[in-house]
Homo-oligomer: A and B are copies of this chain.
Amino acid sequence: MRTIRLIAATALLLAGCEVTEVTSNQTADSGPVATASAGTDEQAIRALNDRWLQLIRDRDSAAIGELYAEDGAVMPQGEPIRVGRSAIAAWWAKSMEMPDYSLTFDEESVTVSQSGDMALDRGTWQFSATPESGPVRDSGKYVVVWRKIGNEWKVAADIFNSDGQQAGNPPS
C-alpha cells in the first residue's frame, strides 16, 4: 500500500489561476523588458498548466514528457529522481496506469524572474485512485521551476510531497 500511495503522490501538475508578479526591479536595465513580458510569461505558464491537465486526462505520457526541458527532472516522493524526457514520460505512463487515476492541481503562486527566463510555481495537489488493494487518496504540495528554453517555457524541476495521512488512505 505504501508503494502505491507514494506512486500516487508522484503525480504533479499545475492548474489554477492565482498568479503573483515580480514587481521589484533590482536590475535597472532589465526592468522594462521584464515588466512588459511578465504578463505574457504568466499567461504562457498558465496555458501550459491547462494543457498539462488535459494531457493527464488523455493519459498522454509522451506529450507530458515534452512539457519538461531535455534535462528536466521529476522528483517523485518515495522514488529516485528521473532526469530526461523519456525517463519522465515512462514514469508518468506507469503512474497513470492505476485504475480511476485522478490528479488535480492548484497554483498558489507563480513568480517570474525579471529576465523572464525562470519561474517559481508552487501549490497543492490532490490525488485519488482505486487499485485492487482498495481506494487511495492523498494530497500535498509541489514546486515546479520553469525555464524558458528558446521561446518555450519548459519544466526544469518538478518535486512534490504529501502533507501526511489522508482520509481514505490505508495505514502505511
Contacts and interface: CB of A to CB of B under 8 A. Distances in A.
A117 B120 contact: no
Contact of A29 (B6, B33, B73): B33
A33 to B, nearest CB: 6
A31 B22 CA distance: 19
Interface in A46-71: none
A79 B161 CA distance: 9
A122 interface: yes
A163 B117 contact: no
A8 to B, nearest CB: 13
A89 interface: no
Contact of A161 (B113, B149, B160, B172): B160
Size bin of chain A's contact surface: 35 or more
Nearest to A171: B2
B111 A156 contact: yes
Interface string A16-50: 00000010101101100110000000000000000
A14 interface: no
For the complex of A and B, 5 pairs with smallest distance between CB atoms: A115-B115, A30-B30, A113-B113, A114-B115, A113-B118
Interface of A: 2, 6, 22, 24, 26-27, 29-30, 33-34, 73, 75-81, 111, 113-120, 122, 141-143, 145, 147-150, 156-157, 159-164, 172
